[in-house]
Amino acid sequence: MEFYNYIKALHLIFVITWFAGLFYIVRLFVYHAEAKEKPEPEQSILIKQYQLMQYRLWYIITWPSAILASIFAFWLLHLIPAWLEQDWMIVKLGFVVLLYAYHIKCHLIFKELQQNKVKNSSNFFRIWNEGATLILFAVVFLVILRNAINWIYGVVGIFLFSIIIMLGFQFYKKIRTKNK
């Protein structure tokens, strides 16, 4: 138990960098989708740069962070196995599985974009980016409140906030289009 706080700190650091990678990779997906609509030679220049940025972010930060966050999480569960008997932890682990599913889907999108196959719009990617946000809020509320039910209030709040942001974005887009 002497190293518990060090392991916990490392787990948190890599969770933070994992989420940072997930947030930024989808932002790069947005830029990539928008670049696909640009005229040449701008399109080729931008896409080449975005592919390089995506590659470096994905393999140097995001994947290693996911793996290291998981290793330190398993280590913490090994040190305190009683957590596996608590409802909040079971729900949290369910969200971690969901986070890995989100991560894998991002990986599939990443692979397509590395071949410059853009199957989704920039608006789709903006909405897709909210998935990681919802998971983050749910996990943080679960860990802090340690209650398998109260996390719902936090997630519902961020979901409503996300809807307001997206409606604001759509409203702004209509105004911008109308003024052109």
Q: What residue numbers does the annotated binding site cover?
A: 11, 92
Q: How many CB atoms lie within 10 A of CB 19?
A: 20
Which two three-digit tokens encode residue 98? 């969901």
Cβ pair 38, 70 in contact under 8 A: no
Write out the binding residues for heme.
Answer: 11, 92
- Are 96 and 139 in contact, with CB atoms under 8 Å apart? yes
DSSP state of 58: I
Residue type (1 letter), 27: R
Q: Are 127 and 25 in contact (CB under 8 A)?
A: no
